Structure 1
Amino acid sequence: MSQLILFNKPYGVLCQFTDQEGRPTLADYIRKPGIYAAGRLDFDSEGLLLLTDDGQLQHQIAHPANKLPKVYWAQVEGEVSEEALSRLRQGVELKDGRTAPARARSLEAPELWPRVPPIRERKSIPTSWIELTITEGRNRQVRRMTAAVGHPTLRLVRRAIGNWTLDGIAPGEHRSEEVFLPRSTPAKQKPRSARGHHPDRKSAAGARRARKTPPRGPRR
């Protein structure tokens, strides 16, 4: 069984266990040896971070090729239009290429813990919330996507990764689970001798020589 930790990362915490500048890290909240983050979450983002003691599980969660869906709640500037949501669903052109199509919808302001420090707000510009589900893992991707459709992100919370969610986990708290991960069985190989030769190779070579050598006549 592999150990999996679901951690609700607060704002302003690095997704690493050490920092030479003395900033808050995972070590301030999780004191279990041999645990590593499966993926990352930006310093200024909050929400679900998965950690595990199993390298294979870490790879399955974090590698972009596995396309594990990640759900984000983003508080953005302005009133989000259906046109902006449609652009997010189709994929947005960024400096590092076009994003894959995302699931995007408007969201009523969720009941979340207060952020410390609070977001900057301007009385002349309203804010709204969207839920965005992506399967990629580009650097600061959600923030860049919302900015590309005219709605810069003010607060970003990762709600879910695959089937794992933040339910019941307060900021700075974590919950442990055990995950069964089937191991692949290597294919059986024929036994080889100590020198790495096939045990039947010598006899097979002898049989070939016997077929090529003409029979000898009687001695005179």
Structure 2
Amino acid sequence: MARLILFNKPFGVLSQFTDRGAPTTRATLSDFIAVPGVYPAGRLDRDSEGLLLLTDDGRLQARIAEPRFKLPKTYLVQVEGDPQDAALAALRRGVRLKDGPTLPAEAERIPAPDLWPRDPPIRVRKAIPDAWLRITIREGRNRQVRRMTAAVGLPTLRLVRWAVGEWTLEGLAPGTFREIAV
């Protein structure tokens, strides 16, 4: 039976078990997960938070991480600005990035979610409003959601991956994980 670990990756943690090439040591998965033989299925940037899946099964890892399987990934995104219908419609159609157009995304404005405080907190500017979006994509380019929101004039302030396929962060505090049967 394959092992599958759901991990709530905190801000500032690398999505790998070792830190290669940095002059100072940064936090990695090994600071939180002492389960031998599991590897990340996909990744989250150091400045992103939320659900990271780890498994010991190569086929499951490919099904989760490979864009050709188009597994939906849902993000809660705090953006700078006041999202208008045109910006949300552009995200839903797909936006043109430097590496080509994205697939259409599901995008909607949501009330501020009840999340843990981020450490360090995001920058707050009194003269500029912010808002929360729920965005679901089915591809996984480098920093894709951040680049998509920037392309429609809404820079990302905080990015939390809430779900990958059927798996969610529900009940997982930052820095904790649970293993589930698959």
TM over 0.5: yes
The CA distance in 2 between the partners of 1:91 and 1:36, in whole Å, is 31
**5 Å matches for 1:1-220?**
1-20=1-20, 21=22, 22-179=25-182
Question: After superposition, what is the alpha-carbon deviation per residue over 1:16-62, rounded to whole angstroms, capped at 9, x for unaligned?
Answer: 00114310000000001101000000000000000001111101110
Please list every run of 5 or more consecutive structure 2 residues that lacks an aligned counterpart in the other structure. Answer: none
Deviation at 1:160, TM superposition (A): 0.1
SS at match of 2:113: coil
The CA distance in 2 between the partners of 1:73 and 1:44, in whole Å, is 14
Which structure would you say has the larger RCO, counting Cα contacts within 8 Å and 6 or more residues apart? 2
Question: After superposition, what is the alpha-carbon deviation per residue over 1:56-100, rounded to whole angstroms, capped at 9, x for unaligned?
Answer: 110111000000000001000011111110000000000000000
Aligned residues: 179
What residue is the counterpart of 1:206 in the other structure? none
Residue 107 of structure 1 aligns with an amino acid whose one-letter code is I
When the two chains are superposed, the root-mean-square deviation of aligned CA atoms in Å is 0.6
TM-score using structure 1 length: 0.81
Please list every run of 5 or more consecutive structure 1 residues that lacks an aligned counterpart in the other structure. Answer: 180-220
Question: After superposition, what is the alpha-carbon deviation per residue over 1:120-165, rounded to whole angstroms, capped at 9, x for unaligned?
Answer: 1110001000000000100000000000000000000000000000
Moved over 3 A (4+): none
Residue 2 of structure 2 aligns with an amino acid whose one-letter code is S
TM-score using structure 2 length: 0.97
Give aligned-pair identity as a percent. 66
Deviation at 1:178, TM superposition (A): 1.5
Larger CA Rg, structure 1 vs 2: 1
SS at match of 2:78: strand
The CA distance in 1 between the partners of 2:45 and 2:18, in whole Å, is 15
